[in-house]
Structure 1
Amino acid sequence: MIRLGLVSLLIFLSFNTLAQEYEIKGKVINRNQVPLEFISVYLLKQDSTYLRHIMTDSMGGFIMKGYKDRYKLKISTIGTEIKIIDIYLSEDYDLGEIEVNSSFGLENITVNARKNLIERKVDRIVFNIEESPSMQGFDLLEALSNTPMLHTSDGGISIVGKSGVAVMINERLINLSGSELIQYLKSLRSDDVAKIEVITTPPSKYDAQGNSGLINIVLKKRTNNGLQSTLSSSYIQRTYGSTVNNVNLNYQTDNLLLSVGLRHYDIAYRVNESVSLIGIPTSVIQSDLRKDFNKGGGLNVNLDYKISKTSNIGFIYDGSIGGSNMDIVSTTNYMTNRLLDSILWTNAEHRKSINFQTLSAYYDLKLDTLGRKVSIMGNFLSNTPRSPFDFTSENLNTENSYSVRNESDMSYQVFSGQVDFTYPTKVINLEIGIKYTDIRNSSFVKYLNLIDEEYVIDPVRNDEFNYKENNYAGYISGFRQLSKKLTAQAGVRYEFTEIMGFSPNTEERNTFNYDNFFPSGYMSFAPNNKHTFSLSYSRRINRPNFGNLNPFRWYSNPYIYSAGNPNLLPSFNNNFELGYVYGGDLSITMYNQRLTNGYTSLTFLENTIQISNWENHLTQYNSGLNIGYSFKTIKWLQSYLFSDAVYIKSKSSIEDVIAQKGFTYYYQINNSIFLNKSKTNSILLNYWQNLPRRASNASYKTIANLRLGINVQVLDKKLQMHLIVEDIFKQNLSRGEIYFQDNTQFFNNYYDARRLTIGAAYRFGKPNIKTNRKDTKFDERGRAN
């Protein structure tokens, strides 16, 4: 009933806003009867409140619409008001030829306008990377790593101080995660990107999933028809050599947009992990030496067809196949009262297949020229990874040996469908939508002992788990330009979730449901083109991944395993931000975040068995201030400085967990030194450092990274080459301590961050081809890992 009521309310609101609109048209000419192109025409209320804006076409003409009322029509150019006309709109209104008191035409005007590097919009910060020559000539991942506030690694992309951020292209959420997302971003070029938007408090039209915000990559608009292709290849040297290769084809006609991308990667790197659990009386000290080697490929196809001037259809397919593998040599020391009891040596092989497929289809219909439109979208995801994990453990004291195969077969299927309705009205620009998501996950985990050269199933340690989730959502959001200086946006999203988990082995069934409202609100004030102030709030939810919910035990040796928790609940995050931007160069943001019902993986000892499990227990407050400044007064140098100071206070509902609090500081310096006047050749010198910090029940030591590179573009920028050295001083280590009442855990991990990358890309065909990127809003793909 709740869901039906919500849908009925949204439909009622959408139809209730309908009202008769009338057309206003005219033609702007000068005293010489010459039509004036690119002249601004504003529709204002009688109190000069801004409503709509349009530019005249090549013949000086314009057409806009409005509701029955009295208005002012302002005609201006380059910030100079030319003429004001009072009109009363009660029917279609033709102003005819409007002669302005000016003798100029566009041939006498030189416009030298450039966008600011940083812009503060009502709900996001925008970095216009097309205004930064230093960000040209790279793959998209490299461009993101050079973007202020963003941090990239082999594991993914994050906003500084946050994790698990979703990535969109032209507001289309990329249906990939982890290493597959990284490889996909490497297949795209920074030259095709106009700007990168960092949305730390997402509005209601986006799914509420994900505490950490969104990154939206906006591609440049292309106009020329024809074929374009790009070939790119990179060689990466760490402990082991790696290669990444990509081919992209883009074809465009008046009605058709087709993009095809092929990617291939063969990556290997070394991992050193050291974890110690020091307790009384028992302690466990484990050291792993690991080789990760991932090999695979992917295909991405984007097709968009314009049926008419007002409608288009399309589909997007992305498929990945390959393997994510590990060879591990592990030594575990077991101690009692700090005296060595035994040493367990383990040799393991982990082979995980990748078979990830997504398909999205959409239909867009423009209802009029005012921006009213309807979008219908459907998404399907399939992921069927198989993960055999073979290990042999030998007790060096007793010489007992154990050979085990821990094998998992999983199947994820996600379907979602949604309808979005955009409806500008006289009072407010409305966005209304509904969405339904069906998620199914089945997994079967086997634990087999090697007996007489045959693997025999251990019935006690086998597990099967079936999971089903249905999510019903609806939202309504409104934007209003209160004046030329003040804008506001507000909305609310409602989500109702039904969950069912079933373990056939134990016949345990976990069934529950929950519903929540997720409000958001934004206000932006720009007294002039130098200053912009903003205030924003949003509430978010973070649902557990399927692996966090699955109760199966995943063993790394006979005495160490991790398991999911089928009773794990989502966490919630409230985000407040107060922002200021000066002149497009200086950005200051004060923020406060409150995390409730947070969940983390907790590790403890039960006799001699080391167990890691997921629990809801965390409440955390983050209060901070970040400042970014773009320095570009020297022609041959462009620098960006970013710093973030934050106080973190954590609380835990579990008595054994010792929650932490304290200040931390992060800073980032990106420098581009241009070697020629055209700025096609440059040297990169970037450094970031995160000082010690405390969060949840852990403390983390200082981590940093210095990267130096050179970027060269030749042959009219068709050939791009770069050489980059990363983590020169080997400072990118993960080290720290985790605190419990009865033990302290120490970790010291290094993931082969020091590396040399040599890359080249060559572009064929016409340069101005538009690639098709469509918003499918498929948020659930990140949970299928």
Structure 2
Amino acid sequence: MKPKQVNYTQTDSLGLYHFNNLQAGKYSIICSSINFKAVNQLLALTKDTVINIQLQENRNKLADVQINARKSLIEKQIDRTVFNVENSVSAIGTDALELLSKVPGVRVLNDRVSLSGNGAVNIMINDKLVPLSADELSDYLKSVSSGNVAKIEVITNPPAKYDAQGNNGLINIVLKKVAAEGFKGSINTAFTKAIHPTVSAGGSLSYRKNKITLSTNFNIRKGSLVPFEQSDVFYPTQTWNIVNKDRNFRTVPSGQIGMDYQASRKTVLGFSYNGGLTNFHSEENIKTTVYNKTGSLDSVLNSDANAKIRSHYHSANVYFKKTLDSTGKQLIINGDWFNYNDDKERFFNNTSYFQNGIMFPDSFAEYLSASKQNIDLYTVKADIDLPYKTFKLSFGAKLSFIHNESDLAFYRVRNTVYELEPGQTNLFNYKENTQALYINYNKSLKRWDFQAGLRGEYTQIDGVSVNEQNRSEYFRLFPTLYIGYRVNNKSTFSANYGRRINRPAYRKLNPFRWYSNQYVYTEGNPFLQPSYNDNIEISHTYNNVFTTTLSFSHTTNGFNDVNFIDAGTNIQAAKPLNFITGYHYQFSNAITLNPLKWWESINQADIFYTISRSGITQTQSSLNGFGAYFSTLNQFVFNQSKTILGEASFWYQFPTIDGLNQNKSQYNLDLGIKTLFLNKKIQLAITASDVLKTNQYRYSSLINNIRQEYNNYYDSRQIRLTFRYNFGNEKIKQQDRKLGNEEERRRNN
């Protein structure tokens, strides 16, 4: 006989339970719990009744079951490509910056990150942009241990939820999630040998007890590199060959601490703090050899320099997450504060010599360039996700407040006394406030998936420098659209469109001139405007193995630094301008292969065509041409227990166009091997980067009909030995946190 009524309930933390509004009659009460024997008790209910039931422990407990599933190294999703770091051999014992170089289509050159054919991208950590200069960003990424990274996401066309900043997409570094009761941690050390050695060490620790989760990590790196830069400037009557030999030293400690508190079953509160310090100094020699029209030596200019930089950053986040119901509706609020401060000093001298080696009379001069910068950034961000049965709606708002202050000074040494030159001293104040709203809509219909979003941003800026003030405000809309069609279980088509903005770095807005020597200076442009990109992408994925993508990008009001050269005075003046209109067409193919059980190979090939048009007369009116890029990443398992692993990666960049520069070809080979001990808790790895010493950046440009050629190498051939030990509870998991300030992070570059 079937029961007429079935009721379910669950005990609270004290073991109390309730059945309400039951009718009189006969009932069977069944109580059960994992690892306890079930109890079945009959009850004739006539009135309110209290029933005490005590379960007996089941001594025949089921042993712990551990299920291991190995994700593909590369996963293609509708709006991003995911690189699963834990499956990369070369990722062991390295840092986040080097991990990026292992992702197909991502390039790291001179510690600058870009996408093949697309240029520089913005970097996020757990959906949160890092607001550091190019040098500080590279130091920060080097301070993030690869052991703390779970995956890297390449988002070529970000949806409306993300800030519109950045014309070439986003790269999101997702850190590992920790927390179930107990401790978990790791320690790691690394020794790297380029021309000179670098050593690093670090560790992480996480702990959870009841409702509180704590996590922390610390890393330190100390060493030096020897970059080499060479350029030739072909004046009408002279050729200048400039060789910059530099050895720079860095000591970079950094740390993080975070706490999550589960206030209730539906509410999570959190706090995190990140901080870091960089001590930098360099020893430089810049030798400029001047040849006359016949190729004979004319003169030599020599400059010896040393620079000192001390910088630090602080970043704090408070976090609130409220689950609204059991269907996944939720509210997330983030408050963020970021502070960056640096103090730079560069001492240099200039001496000129005749071709016979005799010094020009009174040519020796000594200088000091000094710079201080302080950036404060405050953001408040709220996001609401509302999933329904047939669609999902999300919307949110963000407020950001930025204050940047730069203090620049220039001194000349006279009679051993540093005398301030008032005309070369400047205080630059810059404020920027932005208010943003967005809405995003998702719906699936049979084989079709749709997503549409719209983001609006209203920005007000105010910059003051040398009694020159520049104020402006603007409102822009940024639509996004995604369409996906599943032909069958193996074949999927997708298309997307998005509009982006690229706001200039703060320092590029400062009109003050910064002199390197008597012939070379750079200056900012307070009237520099943002540029905009419209991006379209169509792709097909087969069996999560083969992906083909056709993309188009249109840049308007693009800006870049132009190195203006005066043939009469030999002055080289670099200044950023809005002058580029660009078109970029790209055809990409990515394929993951398993030729043998012990060999996995991920390969990518891109062919692209670039058109760059200039709006200023000093440069070429247009430049266009084809380019291509190929990369292959191969992983090997050398024994049955999978404790000896190897990796070989190679990429080749064919000659291409980058703005109004013509880049020459370059290529790179990396090799790595790793062994695991003590139930895979100890990892020992050795990797060799740029084995063939071919990762050299060579390019040329034409300004005022004066050709410039550059050949730069940044000490990238290195061998690294790393050791890592993992300890504690291996079953730990963590709250999923997405932090708040996004668009502003990186623009002090």
* Structure 1 unaligned residues grouped into runs of 5+: 1-24, 28-56, 60-106
2:445 corresponds in structure 1 to: 482
Report the aligned-residue RMSD: 2.6
- 1:246 maps onto 2:202 in alignment: yes
CA offsets 1:653-700 (integer angstroms, 9 cap, x no match): 012211321111100111122111232311211111101112322111
Q: Within 1, Cα distance between the matches of 2:364 and 2:69?
A: 73
Aligned residue type for 1:614: P
Map 1:364-513 to 2 at 5 A: 364-397=321-354, 398-399=360-361, 400-483=363-446, 485-503=447-465, 505=466, 507-513=467-473
2:247 corresponds in structure 1 to: 291
Residue 474 (structure 2) aligned to one of 500, 511, 514: 514
**Structure-2-length-normalised TM-score:** 0.86
- 1:331 maps onto 2:296 in alignment: no
Residue 358 (structure 1) aligned to one of 312, 315, 323: 315
Pick closer, same or farther for the CA change 1:783–1:192 going to 2, 3 Å: closer
2:685 aligned counterpart, secondary structure: strand
Q: CA contact under 8 A between 2:130 and 2:746: conserved in structure 1? A: no
2:528 corresponds in structure 1 to: 568
- 1:595 maps onto 2:558 in alignment: no
- 1:625 maps onto 2:587 in alignment: yes
CA deviation after TM superposition for structure 1 residue 192, in Å: 5.9
CA deviation after TM superposition for structure 1 residue 268, in Å: 0.8
Pick closer, same or farther for the CA change 1:423–1:445 going to 2, 3 Å: same
CA deviation after TM superposition for structure 1 residue 272, in Å: 1.2
CA offsets 1:499-546 (integer angstroms, 9 cap, x no match): 11112x3x2111111221100010111222211111011111111111
Q: Within 2, Cα distance between the matches of 1:334 and 1:773?
A: 60
Aligned residue type for 1:345: N
Aligned residue type for 1:710: I
Aligned residue type for 2:529: L
Larger mean Cα displacement after TM superposition, 356-365 or 176-185: 176-185
2:746 aligned counterpart, secondary structure: helix
Q: Within 2, Cα distance between the matches of 1:688 and 1:383?
A: 35
* Structure 2 unaligned residues grouped into runs of 5+: 1-5, 9-31, 35-62, 355-359
CA deviation after TM superposition for structure 1 residue 133, in Å: 6.3
Aligned residue type for 1:512: S
1:770 aligned counterpart, secondary structure: coil
Residue 736 (structure 1) aligned to one of 696, 699, 704: 699
1:89 corresponds in structure 2 to: none
Q: CA contact under 8 A between 1:535 and 1:578: conserved in structure 2? A: yes
Q: CA contact under 8 A between 2:137 and 2:746: conserved in structure 1? A: no
1:547 aligned counterpart, secondary structure: helix
CA deviation after TM superposition for structure 1 residue 145, in Å: 3.0
CA offsets 1:329-385 (integer angstroms, 9 cap, x no match): 011245665676542210011111111111111211111111211111111111121
CA offsets 1:140-181 (integer angstroms, 9 cap, x no match): 535433322222355243332334323334434445564554
Map 1:41-440 to 2 at 5 A: 118-128=74-84, 132=87, 134=89, 137-139=92-94, 141=96, 142-153=98-109, 155-174=111-130, 176=132, 178-186=134-142, 194-219=150-175, 224-281=180-237, 283-334=239-290, 342-397=299-354, 398-399=360-361, 400-440=363-403
CA offsets 1:724-761 (integer angstroms, 9 cap, x no match): 11111111001121123421111011111111111111
CA offsets 1:167-217 (integer angstroms, 9 cap, x no match): 334434445564554455455565665543221000011000011212234
1:717 corresponds in structure 2 to: 680
2:118 aligned counterpart, secondary structure: coil
Q: Within 2, Cα distance between the matches of 1:415 and 1:672?
A: 43
Q: CA contact under 8 A between 1:313 and 1:363: conserved in structure 2? A: yes
Q: CA contact under 8 A between 1:698 and 1:737: conserved in structure 2? A: yes
Q: CA contact under 8 A between 2:143 and 2:221: conserved in structure 1? A: no
Q: CA contact under 8 A between 1:486 and 1:525: conserved in structure 2? A: yes
1:531 corresponds in structure 2 to: 491
Q: Within 1, Cα distance between the matches of 2:444 and 2:187?
A: 44
Q: Within 1, Cα distance between the matches of 2:585 and 2:329?
A: 40
Q: Within 2, Cα distance between the matches of 1:464 and 1:112?
A: 58
Q: Within 2, Cα distance between the matches of 1:415 and 1:322?
A: 23
2:544 aligned counterpart, secondary structure: coil
- 1:755 maps onto 2:737 in alignment: no
Pick closer, same or farther for the CA change 1:777–1:680 going to 2, 3 Å: farther
Pick closer, same or farther for the CA change 1:608–1:150 going to 2, 3 Å: closer
Larger mean Cα displacement after TM superposition, 153-162 or 194-203: 153-162
Pick closer, same or farther for the CA change 1:112–1:419 going to 2, 3 Å: closer
Q: Within 1, Cα distance between the matches of 2:443 and 2:379?
A: 30
- 1:783 maps onto 2:747 in alignment: yes
CA offsets 1:116-158 (integer angstroms, 9 cap, x no match): 554443322334455x464674445354333222223552433
Q: Within 2, Cα distance between the matches of 1:333 and 1:636?
A: 55
2:657 corresponds in structure 1 to: 694
Aligned residue type for 2:627: T
Q: Within 1, Cα distance between the matches of 2:297 and 2:310?
A: 39
Pick closer, same or farther for the CA change 1:717–1:611 going to 2, 3 Å: same
Q: CA contact under 8 A between 2:153 and 2:172: conserved in structure 1? A: yes
CA offsets 1:376-414 (integer angstroms, 9 cap, x no match): 111111112111111111122314111011111111111
Q: Within 1, Cα distance between the matches of 2:492 and 2:589?
A: 14
1:90 corresponds in structure 2 to: none
Q: CA contact under 8 A between 1:120 and 1:532: conserved in structure 2? A: no
2:502 corresponds in structure 1 to: 542
Q: CA contact under 8 A between 2:702 and 2:708: conserved in structure 1? A: yes
**Structure-1-length-normalised TM-score:** 0.82
Q: CA contact under 8 A between 1:351 and 1:387: conserved in structure 2? A: yes
Q: CA contact under 8 A between 1:172 and 1:773: conserved in structure 2? A: no
Larger mean Cα displacement after TM superposition, 135-144 or 245-254: 135-144
2:51 corresponds in structure 1 to: none
The sequence identity of aligned pairs, in percent, is: 32
Pick closer, same or farther for the CA change 1:113–1:396 going to 2, 3 Å: closer
2:424 aligned counterpart, secondary structure: coil
1:212 aligned counterpart, secondary structure: coil
Larger mean Cα displacement after TM superposition, 378-387 or 673-682: 673-682
1:548 aligned counterpart, secondary structure: helix
CA deviation after TM superposition for structure 1 residue 784, in Å: 2.2
Pick closer, same or farther for the CA change 1:170–1:680 going to 2, 3 Å: farther
CA offsets 1:527-568 (integer angstroms, 9 cap, x no match): 222111110111111111111111222221122111111111
Q: CA contact under 8 A between 1:348 and 1:391: conserved in structure 2? A: yes
Pick closer, same or farther for the CA change 1:166–1:770 going to 2, 3 Å: farther
1:677 aligned counterpart, secondary structure: coil
Pick closer, same or farther for the CA change 1:275–1:316 going to 2, 3 Å: same
Pick closer, same or farther for the CA change 1:127–1:781 going to 2, 3 Å: closer
Aligned residue type for 2:251: K
Q: Within 1, Cα distance between the matches of 2:143 and 2:462?
A: 38
CA deviation after TM superposition for structure 1 residue 115, in Å: 5.2
Pick closer, same or farther for the CA change 1:713–1:164 going to 2, 3 Å: same
Q: Aligned residues, how many? A: 681
